[in-house]
Chains A and B, each alone.
Chain A
Amino acid sequence: MRFSFTPEQEEFRTSLRRALEARSPTKEVRRLMATDQGFERDGWQKLNQELGLTAIHIPEAYGGAGFGQADLAIVLEEMGRGLLCAPFLSTALAANAILNAATEEQKQALLPAIAAGEKTATLAFSEDDGGNDAEGVAMTATQSGAAWRLEGSKSFVLDGHTADLIVVVARRPGSQGEDGLSFFIVDGNSPGLERKRLKTMDETRKLARLTFNSVEAKILGEAGAGAAPFAKTMQQAAVLLANEMVGGAERLREDALAYTKMRMQFGRSIASFQTTKNKAADMLVDVELAKSAAYYAAAALDEGDDELPALASLAKACAAEAYLQTAIHAVQMHGGIGFTWDNDTHLWFKRAKSSEILFGDANQHRELMMQHWKH
């Protein structure tokens, strides 16, 4: 296992960070998060095409750049740091689902437009109970001739109200658990599909509820064989989100530290108080450990590590605790101003909170990790 980034990866990270700092200052984040869409299509397409972001992990055979999930994880870490308002995580997850579930022909047909940034996409798996495994899928898919029809609803769908393509997990009527699951693809503008944006606590992360009234869909891969690719897609999702989270946590930690050095009370900077220094040291420990776990799990994605299920949950649980704790400390270190809307800390605090829950909270992932632990 590698424990460092290659010089090329470091260089890529540096240029990406610079681009995001220029394109997505918090003023811009605040402007976009207040919009219904949550992003601007033109601006995002331009940035994406310049940097080739949605192409990173897509193989060259499907119009991508052919890098790995670990490189995708770097992009997410930097986006977590910069809080970029764009349908990137949603599109990356949908592309992973297609890579995991679809036939060769379907990949050829679907992935080039995603890689080129011409189409945004998302993955719809959760329903009203917010579940993220096979048990939580109730939506049914029935075949009539060559076409399939989807009936039911999905919720908490990332960028679900704006995505051009929606990858949906649904089941054969009457089936249960891992049995009878299949992946489908639906056009965002399909007749019978109702999309409603949900009002989110974390305004930088847009979610939607989708209602399918006999919506026509194409099946991806083989009918009923969706359980394994679904599990794999969710493991990838946990690892990628963990990397996004450690990027945000590090930014919060750095900003809070810088503030304590500047803030004067009792005639000295508050960074000179041991109680502040102790907290700052503990924050560094939390963030560095979470980074190590996120990086290790990201490397495991590409190496086909058979411990991936345990590692993915480990990384997600570790990042969840570290990010939220860092956010709590960061508000505290800012004092009163940290609780104001005008101060930027709350943007990341809310991202920490939404990320803690998305794709399963720390309790769920610790339990999953124990179920998969091999030692």
Chain B
Amino acid sequence: MSEETENSVRAEVRAWLEANWKPDYGLVEWRTKLIESGWGAPHYPKEWYGRGLPVHFNPIVDEEFARIGAVGVAKAGIRTLAAATILDHGTDLHKEKFLRRILTGEDTWCQLFSEPGSGSDMAGAVTRADRRGNQWVINGQKVWTTSAHKAHWGLLLARANWDVAKHKGLAYFILDMKQPGVQVHPLKQMNGHASFNQVFFTDAIVEPEMMVCDVGDGWTVATTTLMHERRGADGLRSWAQASSRKGRIYEEEKAEIASTMEPYKWYPQRAGRVDLVMERAKATGKFKDPVIRQEIAKLLIMSKAAEWTARRARAAQEQGKPQGPEGSLGKLVSSNVARQAARVHTYITGADALLTGEDSPMGGVIAEILVSVPATSIAGGTDEIQRNIISERVLKMPKEHSVDTNKPFKDVPRNITAKS
């Protein structure tokens, strides 16, 4: 496809959309037509609903969709991580069975990786996968599973061999979530939301063809999923926003996005809402307090410097320079910003910070900041893990001596859990 250029891609997708897009389609009906054309996921291989185009053409295609107002394939949620993992490691059967329904949005997926006993140490999973006849039988517990209660399918990391080292005994499965052996319970968080679930497996069944890789390669496949998660699944997965246009297909898409994004509605508060600080300080009169002004300034300094550091990293990347240290700091810095923001919001809010919900400022938004910020330094890699990554990969400091990777996993000390 080396002859493709931005202009040729733009012209081609524009012509196809002009000939085919109609807002009175049903959502699945339109997406079925769209993925057959390859324009729904142009970076997928030609034989699997794509056009085999380099991923950097995706923004051009997106622009043309936006220009005409056409709805794209289902992008939000775990489903695109599933698609990316299946494309990289799945069998033709998996691709046949799942990719189309992922792109049309008919199937919802979840990621069954974290466990109560293994958070940062994800490769220490103890959910069991045992062979019975030619089937796999799953027992154990997963946690922090977004959308598990709606999911049709789950990406499952489980231990199939306890006699080899930690990373070597893991297998990776596609699990049917709608079976009696799978029980899903919401997990209520300290901020009152229940965005995640606990998933319990009691003799849940996986058919042999739903194994994604051999026992022993599960960690490698999980790493692929996590890499796509960090990369935003090659630009396909995004913080979905509904179109404001009117019409049946837009309504259907809006409902899909609302449902998929529901668990994330408190995420802006989790980051500290630096954007609200000045208006709140002025509205409460605390803007005049010299002590609070100092704290606001500390927050703004950190927040602006973090933003400029990210811009430096992006500029270096755009110029094709090797990544400097500035590119590895964002996650840790965002925790510092969020914590200082919560501190400042508390100073500004005063006694009203004792309250929550409709009795509290901004209909509970400020209260929600104060009890959501602690998630920032834990979710997606704790501050402690970030510091290890920075010190070992960027600063080249020695790794801790490992005590768990060179012996059979069954001999590794681990947490006591109910079902392992």
Contacts and interface: CB of A to CB of B under 8 A. Distances in A.
B297 A284 contact: no
A288 B399 CA distance: 23
Nearest to A296: B308
Contacts of A293: 301, 304-305, 308
Interface string A303-321: 0000000000010011000
A280 B397 CA distance: 9
B319 A314 contact: no
B314 interface: yes
Interface stretch (A50-58, A61-69, A93-101, A362-370): A362-370
Interface stretch (B94-102, B149-157, B329-337, B345-353): B329-337
Contact of A4 (B278, B290, B319): B319
A277 interface: yes
Contacts of B316: 4
Contact of A366 (B294, B333, B397): B294
B210 interface: no
A312 B49 CA distance: 53
B382 to A, nearest CB: 12
Given A261-B397, A271-B397, A288-B326, A281 B391 contact: yes
- Please provide the 6 A-B residue pairs with the shortest distance between their CB atoms, ordered closest to farther: A366-B297, A277-B391, A292-B308, A289-B305, A3-B315, A281-B387
B302 A289 contact: yes
Interface string A278-310: 101110110011111101100000000000000
Interface in A258-286: 260-261, 268-269, 271-272, 274, 276-278, 280-282, 284-285
11 contacts: A2-B315, A4-B319, A269-B398, A271-B398, A274-B388, A274-B400, A289-B333, A295-B308, A296-B304, A314-B297, A367-B293
Contacts of B308: 3, 292-293, 295-296
Contact of B293 (A4, A274, A289, A366): A366
B386 A289 contact: no
A257 interface: yes
B315 A4 contact: yes
B164 to A, nearest CB: 27
A282 B397 CA distance: 14
**Chain A binding surface SS class:** helix
A317 B397 contact: no
B294 A290 contact: no
A373 B278 CA distance: 10
Interface of B: 278, 290, 293-294, 296-298, 300-302, 304-306, 308-309, 311-312, 314-316, 319, 321, 325-326, 329, 332-333, 336, 384, 386-388, 390-392, 394-401
A257 B325 CA distance: 14
Contacts of B394: 284
A285 B336 contact: yes
B290 A367 contact: yes
Interface of chain B, main secondary structure: helix
A27 interface: no
Interface residues of A, number: 37
A2 B314 CA distance: 11
Given A281-B391, A366-B298, 15 more contacts: A2-B315, A3-B315, A272-B397, A272-B400, A272-B401, A278-B391, A281-B386, A285-B329, A285-B332, A293-B305, A314-B301, A314-B304, A314-B305, A366-B297, A367-B293
Contacts of B397: 257, 260-261, 271-272, 276-277, 280
B83 to A, nearest CB: 34
B259 to A, nearest CB: 35
A369 B306 CA distance: 17
Given A277-B388, A288-B329, A289-B306, A370 B315 contact: no
A338 to B, nearest CB: 18
Contacts of A274: 388, 400
Contacts of B301: 293, 314, 317-318, 366, 369
B114 to A, nearest CB: 22
Nearest to B292: A370
Contacts of B326: 288, 291-292
A373 B279 CA distance: 13
A20 to B, nearest CB: 21
**Which of B294, B316, B397, B398 has the most chain A CB atoms closer than 10 A to its own CB?**
B397
A3 B311 CA distance: 6
Contacts of A271: 397-398
A11 B302 CA distance: 30
Contacts of A288: 309, 325-326, 329
A174 to B, nearest CB: 31
Given A366-B298, A367-B297, A284 B305 contact: no
A214 B302 CA distance: 48
